[in-house]
Chains A and B, each alone.
Chain A
Amino acid sequence: MDIVTVVVSGLLTGGLYATVGLGLALVFGVMRLVNLAHGDLIVLGAYASTLVMAWLGVDPFLSLLLVVPAMALVAYPVQRYLLTGLLRRGLEPPLVATFGISLVISAAITQLFSGNARSLDAPYASAGVNVLGVQLRLIDVIGLGIGVALTVLTALVMNRTRWGAALRASAADPVTAGTMGINVNVVYAITFAASAAIAAVGGVLIGVAYSFTPTSGTSYILIGFTVVVLGGTGSPLGTLLGGLALGLVQSVGGALLGGQYRDFVVYAVFIVVLALKPVADRIVENRRSRLRQPVVALRAEGASS
């Protein structure tokens, strides 16, 4: 087993996984919304691309110029006029609603396109590139590049723009954000639209690299959730690292234990991280508060003198 190829391949696949998880992390991080339709949005993006490609005869990635805004335009009112209202009633109603949306999307795609597996045709879909003696798939390299670019773009928007500040405020405390003049409902809707747009990019990547059917979304949302848990919902960088970690674990696990254990490795890691994350978070928080204590003591001294 060539360990270098296994590791590199895992990291490259992780770039795609990061794209899959980014939209989910965004929505979950801002709204605490578990979007069960996210996988189907990814698949919908792939099918939308097939339509644009057939209509205009363009490359799959060029089709995103139409598909991304279209997906965002469809997602905005869904969040604005359906899911936001349900969010006020707790976690369960929007969960059920997004599950319903998932079924509707899947059924609609099946009706329109049939159940046959498809893939997006492009010259780079089956092209290889040799990097330092390691033969790699060009689409995997592209996938990693797109994953990193989307992560950086999302991080810049969230941390360097007014809208990003509004988003972070809405995520931290929507009630207070609302009293400060932030239209939280619009922020939520734009976030959901952005998530759908990112899902569309993921869909085209998957369509070019692999294949898709109307029911493929389920497997990708499982990957998305695993990435979110591994990387956390707090930062896009965490999502990227989570995706890379998942790709690596999957690749190494499959190479060591055999392909039939590939999924087992992923879900085992998912469960272990779920179990240990609260403990890890507590340890980190304790360390932080111990570091703050000398500062607090100094301030108290200063005040008394």
Chain B
Amino acid sequence: MKLRRRTFLAAAGCLAGGIGLSTMAGRAHATPAELSVALKKVTGGATLRPGRVTLEIPPLVENGNSVPLSVVVESPMTTVNHVRAIHVFAEKNPLPNVISIYLGPRSGRARIATRVRLADTQKVLAVAEMSDGSFWSDSRDVTVTLAACTEAVI
């Protein structure tokens, strides 16, 4: 898993006060407060690290009404080392915590696929909660092409 600067910033921004990250968080203006609150509910303020998670979502979507996404987490999925949950956040949705899916060793593999609605062009963040209490993440920018078409008339 590549550690891209953008992912790092997004993750840092979401944390709002993660140890040693507050300066970076201050710069990541794109992340609204609601997302930080929603994210904190999930992580309890624990450090969010980029990596181990792959979020697949199209970079461009027509209207955002039904967007396919999948999340895969690297994990052996054993009793001692597995993914406890996968959470997806969309910073510009009215309810940023789009979905939380709880897994266990019996899930076999840590992969989920679903469809979500995206209210606007935005960053989508996937967070994996591991059995050792660590949190890992990946994020992607999604452009809703129709957003530009309707912004002007509303």
Q: Do A and B bind?
A: no
Using CB atoms and an 8 Å cutoff, list the residues of chain B in contact with chain A. Answer: none
